A and B are shown apart, each in its own frame.
Chain A
């Protein structure tokens, strides 16, 4: 902007504020801190806060800010130019496996479960799982306010080894890495993640889409999902709680990111990747981010001849946050029952759910995440948010702007007619085959 500036930040973010300023090329940026949180304070409390001290420096807050704006700059403040940054040594050791385990864990490179130590031999074996050159750039990540990190096929392979992947899984891991969309975003929102895998590779890798498909019962499901988290820790700026990861409660899904392998054979509907424009014979991974998965209570009217799964799914939507959309994971038995109910395509069901699940405009506007993420879009005139924000309190609106915001996938062991609803955004689908 070319004028002196002070960032006024709550004290919960001291390290994040300083490290972000450094990453953005302003390591001496003036930052003043207030007690945390500011949200929910009364006017007298805020008055006292402004009249009080910076909890980090102990100095009177406003006098400190005035000083930051009027004190002459130092030579360090006036530095400019391009400065190299190192991620540290490219190799570690030599040392024992036990000490290497400890090194990786103590340096924030793991999920605090034991890893397969990525020795040169193990990484070389992983690299045989792809035809791509080890030094090829596999992807880039620039998250939020940070600049873009890049990573090679070899660096992805190191993470795949650590996660316990077999080399035959490596194209899937590379496809995920190629999106630049890595797990463990640093937001206070505690993001969770999920993926859908489609195509013949599901059987080639012996992936589990039957009984316990979302549980700890198959190596590819477990380790491909884990690799996504390890890549989130290592390939970009990382995720250190209280430093650059601020998920208030964290998210249990982060351990392996809910790998959903669609049961294409027993689904009555079009596979998810075909809905996204791929051919049935293509191998595709589709990524989601959001919050959680929760079980549905079977069908409404379960004692009736025709139980209503559509109404039961619909009843769960209003409690989801508007910031994320919906991912509904249906057991094949549930999907078949819905087909018998008349939903012979996924689109018919999502259209019904979208039209028949509404919330009040008041509830929508009073949602914290709608205020932070969707109100700014309303202020810019973006529809339907702009219209929704002006409606009377009792007006009814859909949970999301369009029916496509509801995603359906079929997976499960057909032992009972259950389903799970994820509060998840679809991000994108990418070819696995291009990384074979």
Chain B
């Protein structure tokens, strides 16, 4: 399934990426040859709810280089993320030793924001790598 099909199935207009509104015209079906002709036709109602509009946020400006910068490695709390991020820190040590890495486990369960950590990163960090998943 491509990105356009996925977003459509989820009720998100693929046009979002292009900044246009979606088509609200009735869906037209491709009739198969065995069901055309004299069979009675009906209009059905969509069972879909109404999605919210999306508030787009601009990306934060990127750095020109990571030299001498502080990169926060944020663990969302799934098993293994801590060990993975330690290997990420090790990679920086081996390949970009001027980069300082700071490991933090995010407070709360994985979907919860951690405003205290976000503030710390904004004050002391230059970039974030956040490990998500299993």
Contact = CB atoms under 8 A, between A and B. Distances in A.
Interface in B1-59: 1, 3, 6-13, 16-17, 19, 21-27, 29, 31-32, 35-36, 39-59
Contacts of A141: 49
Given A10-B133, A85-B51, A123 B35 contact: no
B17 to A, nearest CB: 5
A69 B62 contact: yes
Interface string B90-132: 1100011000000001011111100000100110011111111
Given A103-B27, A103-B29, A240-B10, A91 B43 contact: yes
Given A25-B54, A70-B64, A91-B46, A380 B29 contact: no
A373 interface: yes
A144 B66 CA distance: 33
A243 B27 contact: no
Q: How large is the interface on B (under 10, 10 to 19, 20 to 34, 35 or more residues)?
A: 35 or more
Contacts of B17: 22, 27
Contacts of B40: 96-97
Contacts of A83: 16, 19, 53-56
Contacts, number: 349
A306 interface: no
Interface of A is mostly: mixed
Given A39-B79, A62-B91, A79-B19, A88 B8 contact: yes
A145 B29 CA distance: 33
Contacts of B128: 1, 3-6
B130 to A, nearest CB: 5
Interface residues of A, number: 114
A368 B17 CA distance: 38
A37 B6 contact: no
Given A69-B66, A82-B54, A162-B47, A240 B9 contact: yes
B23 A86 contact: yes
A287 to B, nearest CB: 18
A234 interface: yes
Contact of B50 (A104, A150, A158, A372): A150
Given A4-B63, A117-B42, A22 B26 contact: no
B11 A85 contact: yes
B19 A376 contact: no
Nearest to B2: A15
Interface string A142-159: 001101111110110011
26 contacts: A1-B128, A2-B122, A3-B126, A3-B128, A22-B12, A25-B55, A47-B87, A47-B90, A62-B88, A66-B66, A69-B66, A77-B58, A77-B59, A82-B55, A85-B11, A85-B54, A91-B43, A91-B44, A92-B26, A92-B29, A96-B36, A103-B29, A117-B42, A117-B44, A149-B52, A230-B47
Interface of A: 1-10, 12-13, 15, 17-19, 22-29, 34, 36-41, 43, 46-47, 49-51, 62, 65-66, 69-73, 77-100, 102-104, 107-109, 117-120, 123, 141, 144-145, 147-152, 154-155, 158-159, 162, 188, 230, 233-238, 240, 243-244, 368, 371-373, 375-377, 379-380
